A and B are shown apart, each in its own frame.
Chain A
Amino acid sequence: MPSRIKPPMGEDNGWWWEQAARDKLVIQRCASCEVLRHPPRPMCDGCRSLEWDFVEACGRGSLASFTVLHHPQVPGYEYPLAIGLVDLEEGTRIVTQLVDCERDDITIGMPLEALIHRDDDGFKLPVFRPARESEA
């Protein structure tokens, strides 16, 4: 069974995927000025501090834009493949997969919630689905 292409695990990004493997969606935070940033980078572009930690995201967000991919079809992925650009409640943006929805359910601005998806080979990554009404 082909599986998805895995991210390289470098100093600047590997820690984020390790948190995903522990079922957490996290956001890097400058330890000096406390500004959040994503994707992670080694230096804060506001105060140039190299010190950082991270916070766990609340998991709520809204859809800033999206695409649904049809072609080419790469082994290890299922098509049509819905990809979302999500504004997290904390203020950062993330590119992610949209699950539990059809093309016609997807609208810019819709509320979303995060969950951790586990591939058959055990790899975990944060994805988003339409927010459940009961939680609204």
Chain B
Amino acid sequence: MPSTLRNQAAIAGIGQTPYSKKSGVSELSLACQAVSAAIDDAGVRPDEVDGVVTYLLDSTDEVEVARAVGLGDLSFFSQVNYGGGAAIGLVHEAAMAVASGVARNVVVYRGMNGRSGQRMGAGVSGNIITSDVIHWSWYITYGMMTPASWVAMIAQRYMQEYGATSEHLAHIAIAQRNHALNNPNAAGYGKPLSMDDYMASRLVADPLRLYDCCQETDGGCAMLITSAERAKDLRHPPAEIRGVVQASPRGQEQMTSFYREELTSLPEMELAAKLVYEQSGLGPDDIDAACLYDAFTPEVLMQLESFGFCGKGEAKDFIDGGKALTVGGRLPNNTHGGLLSEAYLHGLNNVVEGVRLIRGSSCNQPEGVEHVLMSAAVGVPTSALILGKAGGP
């Protein structure tokens, strides 16, 4: 039986800081600025906020933000594991808290100096022996220590199996860069990307080139989640949560699920798709736009298949040279530029764009958007979300 979360909660506020390569402020400051902006955007008072959720990887604890922003008495606080897989896990936590009455107004946030501080590409290491450290050591010892290297291993096999090429990856990178050209907050603003630029860019982890990889960003973003009922009385048209799920199928690992029989699909995203469609009562035909997690371009191709927009191996044709993923196409995707061309806020900035698409305020707003699909990170325990307009099905 599907869960009872459908239409119980809504995203009523969004906030973000400027995105840059060097913020010059602390991660606590970024988190506070984003949370503060989300509260104001919703039109609630700080002392009305009684729930706070962030990433386990965020350096700023919930109570630090609560104290700095002046939030109220907290009855719910939580941190979600698995890097970018948590992007929508945050919304999942908040929606469950609101639906159960545990909290009334929950803020979720991510604030990171992802370029000037600790960089993801620097790899991972540790001194204390845990199962997590041992997990990474099977790869790091051999020199495989970046997200790009782990994703490349899956992408290589997928591309060979289905005949996807660098041109197909380029079409995704270019489509999203074109979106960013209309987004003054985006890293790609004012920086057009051509096929020649793409092909001339250096290999990072074969088959991934520089432009297949997401930004590294200093910045923060946040959202306020409340009940669908309350959201109707707040400042903006609510983005109602039709379905929100976490998904970690059998045999799942962090970034390196190399030991599953199937190497050319994403079992975690297939599970997320099954659960989120089940909960929402919707299917791929109901989805008008998407913000699919795009730390690396092949992830977009593979997720189009996981979420049923096309059959296995058909994504390279589905994207139609990138046209299908832009305004006027079948599935406008990452209309703000995404993690590739707006910013890398661990995926949370893609969810913020999903809210804008429902409000009708994207910098590349398609006509008639009723439902938007969002996903969190690929290759890890993950999460997915479908937002809809208030009053809709």
Residues of A within 8 A of B (CB): 4-10, 12-13, 38-39, 64-72, 74, 77, 80-81, 83, 85, 92-93, 95-97, 103, 108, 125
Q: Are A83 and B134 in contact (CB under 8 A)?
A: no
Interface-centre pick from A13, A69, A81, A83 (highest chain B CB count, 10 A): A69
| Beta-carbon nearest neighbor of A66 in chain B | B156
Chain B nearest Cβ from A32, distance in angstroms: 20
Q: A22 to B369: give the CA distance in the assembly, Å.
A: 62
Chain B nearest Cβ from A113, distance in angstroms: 17
Interface set, chain B 119-157, CB cutoff 8 A to A: 121-123, 125-126, 129, 131, 133-135, 137-146, 149, 152-154, 156-157
Q: A49 to B210: give the CA distance in the assembly, Å.
A: 45
Q: A69 to B208: give the CA distance in the assembly, Å.
A: 9
Return the CB mask of B231-263 against A: 1 if under 8 Å, else 0.
Answer: 000000000000000000000000010110001
Return the CB mask of B145-181 against A: 1 if under 8 Å, else 0.
Answer: 1100100111011001000000000000000000000
Q: Are B140 and A5 in contact (CB under 8 A)?
A: yes
Q: Are A83 and B263 in contact (CB under 8 A)?
A: no
Q: Are A67 and B142 in contact (CB under 8 A)?
A: no
Q: Which residues of B contact A12 (CB under 8 A)?
A: 131, 134
> Is B199 among interface residues, defined by CB-CB distance under 8 A?
no
Which among B121, B146, B153, B203 is the interface contact of A66 at CB below 8 angstroms? Answer: B153
Given A68-B206, A69-B149, the answer on whether A93 and B258 have CB atoms closer than 8 Å is yes
Residues of B within 8 A of A (CB): 121-123, 125-126, 129, 131, 133-135, 137-146, 149, 152-154, 156-157, 160, 202-208, 256, 258-259, 263
Q: Which residues of B contact A64 (CB under 8 A)?
A: 157, 258, 263
| Beta-carbon nearest neighbor of A72 in chain B | B121
Q: Which residues of A contact B152 (CB under 8 A)?
A: 67, 69
Q: Which residues of A contact B256 (CB under 8 A)?
A: 95
Which among B123, B125, B138, B156 is the interface contact of A39 at CB below 8 angstroms? Answer: B138
| Beta-carbon nearest neighbor of B141 in chain A | A7
Q: Are B143 and A77 in contact (CB under 8 A)?
A: yes
Given A83-B144, A97-B143, the answer on whether A8 and B206 have CB atoms closer than 8 Å is no
Q: Are A74 and B143 in contact (CB under 8 A)?
A: yes
Compute the total of residue contacts between A and B using a CB distance below 8 Å: 108
Q: Which residues of B contact A72 (CB under 8 A)?
A: 121-122, 146
Given A4-B143, A69-B144, the answer on whether A103 and B206 have CB atoms closer than 8 Å is yes
Chain A nearest Cβ from B132, distance in angstroms: 10
Q: Are B129 and A8 in contact (CB under 8 A)?
A: yes
Q: Are A69 and B156 in contact (CB under 8 A)?
A: no
30 A-B contact pairs sorted by A residue (CB < 8 Å): A4-B141, A5-B125, A5-B145, A7-B134, A7-B140, A39-B259, A65-B153, A65-B156, A65-B263, A66-B156, A66-B206, A67-B153, A69-B144, A70-B202, A70-B203, A70-B206, A71-B202, A71-B205, A72-B122, A72-B146, A74-B123, A77-B143, A81-B143, A83-B142, A83-B143, A85-B258, A85-B263, A95-B142, A95-B258, A97-B142
Given A69-B149, A70-B206, the answer on whether A13 and B157 have CB atoms closer than 8 Å is no
Q: Which residues of B contact A96 (CB under 8 A)?
A: 142
Contacts A6-B141, A64-B258, A83-B143 supplied; 15 other A-B pairs, CB < 8 Å: A7-B134, A7-B138, A39-B259, A67-B152, A72-B122, A72-B146, A74-B143, A83-B142, A85-B263, A92-B259, A93-B259, A95-B256, A96-B142, A97-B143, A108-B156
